[in-house]
Amino acid sequence: MDAEIPVNADALTYPFAAAPQPGSAREIAPGVLWLRMPLPMALDHINVWALAEADGWTVIDTGMHTGASEAAWQKALAQPLGGRPVRRVVCTHMHPDHVGMAGWLTHRFDCPLWMTRLEYVTCRMLVGDTQREAPPDAVRFYQACGWDAQALAHYQARFGSFGKRIFPLPSSFQRISDGDTVEIGGRPWRALIGRGHSPEHLCLYCPELALLISGDQVLPRISSNVSVFPTEPAADPLAEWLASLSELRQRIPDEVLVLPAHNEPFRGLHARLEKLTARHEQALARVLEALGEPQRVIDLFALLFRRPIAADALTLATGETLAHLNYLQRRGHITRELRDGVCWYQTRTVRT
Ligand SMILES: [Zn+2]
């Protein structure tokens, strides 16, 4: 669920550039293995991490539930993981590429799932929407963004697909909260929560190994999607996202090796956080400038994405554009007017 927007990452270094093939692993620190699971989309992989315990493994993130992931896990469990059992599964957040195989692993090894509460509960809720029809308020939401009949029909036909690549989650979980210390492989890892990409995203920081497992909260070469969805039309995820990036910068030293969920492990955390923040600030400035004239959400795509939006990416492009608009509206910089079911945004005129 990440928008693939290439960004200049020249301040970063990649000490482990050669990624492991699905089913194999690469040790990147004592007892910390890097594995990859294939994804059936343009972003074709997710990194998962296996941390050695005295009697097995803690696995962090799991891949989508597909035949290819099952095959890769079967191979990895037999070989690099040496047939030793998975003792615990931790998911950074609820997106299907992270949580999809969690139920498969916990079921197979009869082990617990550890997550933050909002990620677990939100995932169960969205999986509950699978196979349902698109609700009328969701259709109205996208209509208000300026979608045409064809786009709305495509959305209605695809609605309810969230759970299709998620093996049923276990019916209970172990909660991780911000600031918790979780012992993994005999070492303390500190839990840090980020928001904006997903509701209560977990990062894990091990000072002893100088490692940060960052999930989708910080990615080196792509920028994580920050979206408003029809379930909460007035949400302000961009403010949460920017606050989370700033908090990460304060709480985690620059020297760490970052283990992201996509792309490769990298150094240069603070430079990356600054670049991600600057990108959004520039986007906010561009949007504000364009709103001298009234615009709909879809009118701003060319400005924000600088490439045509494919039908399948329309939801994320709309969500991300709205994240910028809601941010500006909440802070009183722009107004929104509903005309014939469509929202028009414009810079607030200052009356003197
Ligand atoms: Zn994600």
Instruction: Give the confidence band of 93 by pLDDT, cuts at 50, 70, 90.
Output: very high
Residues 6+ apart with CB under 8 A from 347: 288, 291, 292, 333, 334, 335
Q: Are 339 and 318 in contact (CB under 8 A)?
A: no
Residue 44: domain span:
25-290
- Residue 75 lies inside a defined structural domain of this protein: yes
Q: Chain-wide mean pLDDT for the chain?
A: 94
> DSSP for 107-142?
HHHT--EEE-HHHHHHHHHHHHTTTPPPPHHHHHHH
Q: Is the pLDDT of residue 337 over 50?
A: yes
Q: Is the pLDDT of residue 7 over 50?
A: no
Tell how far the Cα of 261 is from the centroid of ligand 1, in angstroms.
Answer: 9
Q: Are 207 and 190 in contact (CB under 8 A)?
A: yes
Tell how far the Cα of 205 is from the centroid of ligand 1, in angstroms.
Answer: 18
Q: Which residues neighbour ligand 1 (ion) by CB within 5 Å?
A: 1, 95, 216
What pLDDT score does 5 carry?
Answer: 40
- Beta strand pairing call for 86-90 and 56-60: parallel
- Residue 176 lies inside a defined structural domain of this protein: yes
Mean pLDDT score, 195-202 = 98
| CATH at residue 274 | 3.60.15.10
Residues 213 and 100: their CA atoms lie apart, in Å, by 18
Tell how far the Cα of 99 is from the centroid of ligand 1, in angstroms.
Answer: 10
What pLDDT score does 130 carry?
Answer: 82
Q: What is the DSSP letter of 27?
A: E
- Work out how many domains the chain is built from and give that number: 1
Tell how far the Cα of 1 is from the centroid of ligand 1, in angstroms.
Answer: 5
Tell how far the Cα of 292 is from the centroid of ligand 1, in angstroms.
Answer: 34
- Residue 1 lies inside a defined structural domain of this protein: no
In tens, the pLDDT along 9-50 reads 468 999 998 999 999 999 999 999 999 999 998 899 999 999
- Residue 342 lies inside a defined structural domain of this protein: no
Instruction: Give the whole-number percent of the chain exceeding pLDDT 90.
Output: 90
In tens, the pLDDT along 121-165 reads 999 999 998 888 999 999 999 999 999 999 999 999 988 888 999
What pLDDT score does 311 carry?
Answer: 85
Tell how far the Cα of 341 is from the centroid of ligand 1, in angstroms.
Answer: 31
- Residue 38 lies inside a defined structural domain of this protein: yes
Tell how far the Cα of 319 is from the centroid of ligand 1, in angstroms.
Answer: 14
- Residue 340 lies inside a defined structural domain of this protein: no
- Residue 52 lies inside a defined structural domain of this protein: yes
- Residue 229 lies inside a defined structural domain of this protein: yes
